[in-house]
Structure 1
């Protein structure tokens, strides 16, 4: 992870990793069957760092809000690894365990398993889209300077000008959209929980 963070994914080869660890590349094959397993392990490490061992906060909404925030932070902390998250399936033992734990918690909150999985995928997809825009722009959580300096005139673009002048930061927009999603999910709950 440190090598990819420092030098990018192109630098990540078994030979380069072996040199980084002070061993021959062939030694790594005693621990990993190949580079695909290494890449899958990186995705697992990144995603499981964000996943709580078990939800259990005051409410399922707080749990999902916390997970979305932790996943966003984890992905933004490793922008060089982000392409792996969107191109490799996250089907590893650690990721499957984290998903099972999340589904268990959502089940206790009254969501049927299929609905709980839809909710989890929706939150993950929302976070990945949000992070993709930030990683692509290299801005992190800063407002879009192109929009701010686009020469908006209130006469031509009155609503857009007013919205930009209001100065809502990306984090606030993220929170607004996430809360709207969570409110929508409420309609899929069974009365009284599982």
Structure 2
């Protein structure tokens, strides 16, 4: 038999398969990826640099949904808000990947490129250099926490005896089904308002 016309394995398939395993199980192993692709584990390692390499392929897949054109908006805070919203949507599609990606160093060039643009946006807007990373990290924490919240149950506090927590029970009923979205709007607005104050005060934290 001749060689197959289509390669059995490539980096795109490895990343997609690993992300599928995370969506299903919350984690992955390289041997599991290999089994699902019908190849030997050594074949996967031929295309990636260990588990860390697969993690970066997963990150690359997740950020496919992130729209970098939002960073072209002006003023700076409009760009940051729009980017945060598309960032949240990208990670909300794969909530089980969040803890893995948050605790792994970022190496994907196009992701680094977007963060470079965010850093430049902030510096050009007047933020001090030593304030840039706290702002970026704070935005990361806000967005990823909210993306994870979207996968949580709509009712998080089970009040079986309303007489024990009447105000909490009433507040939950009054909030309706958009709790996570309203919370994100609130925290993002507060974050951006604080950033504007920092900038107006000279850009230093």
Q: Which has the higher contact order (CA 8 A, sep 6+)?
A: 1
Matched, 1:76 2:87: no
Q: CA deviation at 1:77?
A: 0.7
How many residues align? The count is 184
Change (3 A) 1:105 1:64: same
Deviations 1:8-47 (A, max 9, x none): 354x333443454454432333321212211133234424
Change (3 A) 1:82 1:41: same
The alignment's C-alpha RMSD in Å is 3.1
Matched, 1:57 2:57: no
For structure 2, the residue ranges without an aligned partner over 5 or more in a row are 1-14
Matched, 1:115 2:131: yes
Cross-structure match for 1:166: 174
Question: Normalized against structure 1, the TM-score is what?
Answer: 0.75
For structure 1, the residue ranges without an aligned partner over 5 or more in a row are none
Q: CA deviation at 1:132?
A: 3.5
1:93 to 109, 121, 145: 109
Q: CA deviation at 1:128?
A: 2.1
Matched, 1:188 2:198: yes
Query: Equivalents in 1 of 2:96, 2:180: separation in Å?
Result: 21
**Aligned runs of 1:130-169 on 2, under 5 Å?**
130-135=146-151, 137=152, 139=153, 143-144=154-155, 146-147=157-158, 149-153=159-163, 157=165, 159-167=167-175, 169=179
Q: CA deviation at 1:55?
A: 0.9
Question: Normalized against structure 2, the TM-score is what?
Answer: 0.72
Change (3 A) 1:74 1:16: same
Deviations 1:66-121 (A, max 9, x none): 22222221222112322312332224433322211111122222222322222111
Change (3 A) 1:145 1:32: closer
